[in-house]
């Protein structure tokens, strides 16, 4: 998998060099400004243009209000959906048998908090120091349509699945207005309208219907909480951590979702997005625990168990989980490194990006990065 990502990244770099620029994998570019997030810089994709029009239509033309409180406070207005262009995620997909759908989906929600805590990489927006993973409130507030928690287009959701993922697709139909009305000449078994509508609802854990090469349909989860970067090695380590936790948790004899109320699961997620490894969360036995200790003492062993269940080579599993272990033990996530760099060098944003890019190109995991 890492080899495939490296090849894809190299192809992208070659294209970028032809445009006299370069690539950077990060959750939010520290130098991005409002002047960059304008419709003139939007892809000419008809889909994106239609989404912008429909979001503003549903908002009756009202500007989008952004209000994020971290160590600093950012409050501003924007006139289109281009705020979301500042957020870059590393989306992880997991395919599974239909009978495991609810257990996998619920486990994916539960592990979202430790996953985002260990991978946080977006501490700054418009030169303000905000959440460790500022992508979360930024994306949620950049597409603000929906009268309640039950109809927000970007959200962590309001409950677990009970029996089947089709509960989520049913909720899509009942609770969310159609954003891209379109006639599609397709067979019912292709689920074309369902998939189009589902693509305009951005749950942090989004169930998808896809198709195998032989045309048979399958279910999978799109885990959207992880930011891009800091390195491809870090990103593959995040994949291993996620897959291992989810698979092991979904196969627990006593369902994890029966041990953790959904309200606590949701609170854990936002606490981790704010303070990552410094957060305190409620875990399955109802106790309050520090995130750093939870990951090191309980969740990395759980992830190792899950990767073994998946048949992952033991050496590969230990290699990638050790990267997460060292990152968490050192408290040096991408977000932490960026904050430490700014504390040492002041708010020299361009220099921060150059220092980050230099280390990213070297390819060593973020827990090894220096500040000088």
Domain count, the chain: 1
- pLDDT 10s digits, 277-301: 999 999 998 999 999 999 999 999 9
User: Which residue is associated with the tokens 């281009």?
Assistant: 82
How much is the pTM? 0.95
Q: Is residue 372 part of a domain?
A: no
Structural domain containing residue 10: 2-363
Q: From CA 253, how far away is CA 213, in angstroms rounded?
A: 33
Given this model, what pLDDT does residue 320 score? 99
Q: Is residue 342 part of a domain?
A: yes
Q: Is residue 306 part of a domain?
A: yes
Q: Is residue 77 part of a domain?
A: yes
Q: Is residue 168 part of a domain?
A: yes
Q: Is residue 295 part of a domain?
A: yes
Q: Is residue 235 part of a domain?
A: yes
Q: Is residue 371 part of a domain?
A: no
Q: Of 268, 251, 254, whose CA–CA distance to 303 is shortest?
A: 251
206, containing H or E segment: strand 205-211
- pLDDT 10s digits, 138-154: 999 998 876 667 778 99
150, containing H or E segment: none
Given this model, what pLDDT does residue 277 score? 99
- pLDDT 10s digits, 311-363: 999 999 999 999 999 999 999 999 999 999 999 999 899 999 999 999 999 99
List the alpha helices (DSSP H) in 276-362. 291-294, 300-309, 314-330, 334-345, 349-362
Q: From CA 119, how far away is CA 299, in angstroms rounded?
A: 14
CATH of the domain at 58: 3.30.590
Given this model, what pLDDT does residue 61 score? 84
- pLDDT 10s digits, 14-49: 999 999 999 999 999 999 999 999 999 998 888 888
Q: Does 94 score more than 90 pLDDT?
A: yes
């Amino acid at each position: 998998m890492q080899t495939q990502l490296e090849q894809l990244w190299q192809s992208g770099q070659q294209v970028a060099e032809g445009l006299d620029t370069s690539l950077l994998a990060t959750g939010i570019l520290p130098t991005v400004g409002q002047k960059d997030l304008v419709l003139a810089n939007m892809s000419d994709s008809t889909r994106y243009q239609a989404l912008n029009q429909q979001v503003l239509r549903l908002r009756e033309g009202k500007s989008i209000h952004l209000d994020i409180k971290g160590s600093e406070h950012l409050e501003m207005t924007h006139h289109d959906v281009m705020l979301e262009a500042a957020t870059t995620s590393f989306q992880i997909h997991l395919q599974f048998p239909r009978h495991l759908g609810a257990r996998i989906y619920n486990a994916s929600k539960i592990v979202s908090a430790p996953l985002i805590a260990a991978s946080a990489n977006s501490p700054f927006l418009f030169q303000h120091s905000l959440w460790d993973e500022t992508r979360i409130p930024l994306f949620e507030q950049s597409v603000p349509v929906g009268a309640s928690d039950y109809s927000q287009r970007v959200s962590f959701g309001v409950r677990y699945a009970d029996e089947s993922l089709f509960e989520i697709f049913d909720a899509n139909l009942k609770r969310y207005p159609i954003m891209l009305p379109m006639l599609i000449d397709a067979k019912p078994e292709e689920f074309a309208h369902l998939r189009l509508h589902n693509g305009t609802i951005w749950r942090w854990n989004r169930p998808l219907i896809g198709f195998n090469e032989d045309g048979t349909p399958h279910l999978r989860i799109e885990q959207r909480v992880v930011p891009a970067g800091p390195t491809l090695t870090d990103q593959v380590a995040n994949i291993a951590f996620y897959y291992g936790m989810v698979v092991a948790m979904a196969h627990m004899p006593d369902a994890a979702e029966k041990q953790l109320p959904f309200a606590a699961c949701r609170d854990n997620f936002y606490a981790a997005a704010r303070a990552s490894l410094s957060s305190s969360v409620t875990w399955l036995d109802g106790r309050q625990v520090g995130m750093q200790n939870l990951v090191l003492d309980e969740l990395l062993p759980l992830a190792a168990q899950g990767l073994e269940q998946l048949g992952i080579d033991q050496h590969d599993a230990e290699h990638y989980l050790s990267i997460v272990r060292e990152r968490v033990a050192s408290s040096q996530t991408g977000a932490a490194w960026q904050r430490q760099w700014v504390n040492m060098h002041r708010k020299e944003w361009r220099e921060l990006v150059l220092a980050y890019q230099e280390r990213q190109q070297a390819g060593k995991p973020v827990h090894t990065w220096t500040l000088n």
